[in-house]
């Protein structure tokens, strides 16, 4: 198996607050192959954005701290590189698109200025060459009249245009990995469709991998190759898209899929999962989903279920699936933790 572009092993992030230690991420295992789009789903507050930010070491510190684990990007542990190398990686090899395009652009500079800034930061080019690159990128994201857009201020563009400008900006250095943190959540549905098509198209063309974060399963199904499902700071299931939607294994994933209203059946109310997300200050000792799980049995409250493969490429962290014994490529994690 080829070396993955990004592999995250046993990553834990904690926030030290006055109320206590919030265990935002615990024992995260994730990998992204070259040219692959990995979807990351989970409900609000489950740690998707924290995971995205820790890849670029952008977790605000204090109060946040990456307490253990490693993030290998092209074989290099991002958590251990020095500041200079980190800045080289940021924006050039890994770049990130944020949720709200309105606030991701500096209101006092024109789009052209900000885009050129990123290009100049990483490529040794003159300003007019940088401008040409920006123009080229803007037309790649199908921006109408890119020449004029360059001299516009962020507030003069619509949300969709801003997000497209962000995509153009973040892909202008041809990164190997793009982290997209709910890039379309703030946009309305029609614009969302356009932006996704453009993103998909462009990313495939330059051969970048994407970590695509969303809580919209529809978007994930349309865009991604593989999906990881997160719950309360842990990855509970990772599978190829088709497998996940056809044969969800983890009770949480099953519940999540059932909660999507279908056009074909009559239902009075939406399916919900009973209970609420656990507080991450003192999470349940065993499986974090156990208190809400209908299929809970004896070990669930005690032992953290390891993430283990049930079929090729499909891994689940649940005691219902004892799974294959540990193998070298997909190390089981979390078991040793106090949880």
Residues engaged in binding another protein (CB under 8 A):
56, 58, 86-92, 95-96, 98, 100, 103-110, 117-118, 121-122, 151, 153, 156, 166, 169-170
Contact of 176 with 74, CB cutoff 8 Å: yes
What does the block give as tokens for 16?
Answer: 């030290």
Contact of 27 with 234, CB cutoff 8 Å: yes
CB of 315 to another protein, least distance (A): 29
Helix (H) or strand (E) holding 147: helix 146-150
- Helices 159-171 and 111-122 cross at an angle (nearest 10°) of 20
CB of 121 to another protein, least distance (A): 6
Distance (Å, rounded) from C-alpha 322 to C-alpha 319?
6
CB of 240 to another protein, least distance (A): 29
Identify the CA nearest to 122 among candidates 73, 85, 74.
85
CA atoms 219, 319, 323, 282: torsion sign: positive
3-state secondary structure of 242: helix
Identify the CA nearest to 170 among candidates 98, 108, 106.
98
CB of 169 to another protein, least distance (A): 8
Which C-beta is closer to another protein: that of 114 or that of 332? Answer: 114
CB of 134 to another protein, least distance (A): 13
What does the block give as tokens for 145?
Answer: 């009249």
3-state secondary structure of 124: coil
CB of 230 to another protein, least distance (A): 21
CB of 91 to another protein, least distance (A): 3
Which C-beta is closer to another protein: that of 16 or that of 109? Answer: 109
Which C-beta is closer to another protein: that of 129 or that of 152? Answer: 152
287 φ/ψ angles, rounded to the nearest 5 degrees: -70, 135
Which C-beta is closer to another protein: that of 75 or that of 107? Answer: 107
Which C-beta is closer to another protein: that of 24 or that of 318? Answer: 24
Which C-beta is closer to another protein: that of 114 or that of 253? Answer: 114
Which C-beta is closer to another protein: that of 31 or that of 169? Answer: 169
Residues 6+ apart with CB under 8 A from 179: 52, 55, 56, 94, 95, 96, 97, 210, 211, 213
Query: Cα torsion for 271, 275, 276, 281, to the nearest 10°?
Result: -150
3-state secondary structure of 120: helix
Which C-beta is closer to another protein: that of 34 or that of 152? Answer: 152
Which C-beta is closer to another protein: that of 163 or that of 238? Answer: 163
CB of 57 to another protein, least distance (A): 9
CB of 16 to another protein, least distance (A): 14
Strands 314-316 and 308-311: antiparallel
């Amino acid at each position: 198996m080829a070396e993955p572009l990004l592999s995250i092993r046993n990553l834990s992030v904690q926030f030290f607050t006055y109320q206590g230690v919030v265990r935002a991420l615990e024992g995260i295992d994730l990998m992204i192959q070259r040219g692959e789009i990995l979807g990351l789903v989970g409900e609000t507050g489950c740690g998707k954005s924290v995971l995205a930010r820790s890849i670029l070491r952008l977790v605000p510190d204090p109060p946040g701290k990456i307490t253990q684990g490693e993030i290998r990007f092209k074989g290099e542990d991002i958590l251990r590189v020095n500041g200079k190398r980190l800045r080289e990686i940021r924006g050039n090899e890994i770049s990130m698109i944020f949720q709200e395009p309105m606030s991701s652009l500096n209101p006092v500079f024109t789009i052209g200025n900000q885009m050129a800034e990123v290009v100049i930061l990483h490529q040794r080019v003159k300003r007019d060459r940088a401008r040409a690159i920006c123009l080229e990128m803007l037309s790649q994201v199908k921006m109408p009249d890119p020449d004029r857009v360059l001299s516009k201020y962020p507030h003069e563009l619509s949300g969709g245009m801003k997000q497209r400008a962000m995509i153009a900006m973040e892909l202008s250095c041809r990164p190997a990995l793009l982290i997209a943190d709910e890039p379309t959540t703030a946009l309305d549905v029609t614009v969302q469709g356009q932006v996704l098509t453009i993103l998909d198209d462009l990313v495939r063309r330059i051969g970048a991998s994407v970590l695509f974060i969303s809580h919209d399963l529809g978007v994930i199904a349309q865009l991604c190759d593989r999906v990881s499902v997160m719950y309360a700071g842990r990855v509970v299931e990772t599978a190829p898209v088709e497998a996940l939607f056809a044969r969800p294994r983890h009770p949480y994933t099953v519940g999540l899929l059932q909660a999507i209203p279908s056009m074909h059946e009559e239902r009075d109310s939406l399916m919900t999962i009973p209970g609420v997300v656990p507080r991450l200050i003192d999470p349940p000792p065993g499986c974090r989903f156990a208190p809400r799980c209908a299929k809970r049995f004896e070990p669930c409250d005690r032992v953290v279920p390891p993430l283990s493969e049930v079929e090729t490429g499909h891994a689940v962290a649940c005691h219902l699936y004892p799974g294959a014994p540990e193998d070298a490529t997909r190390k089981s994690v979390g078991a040793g933790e106090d949880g």
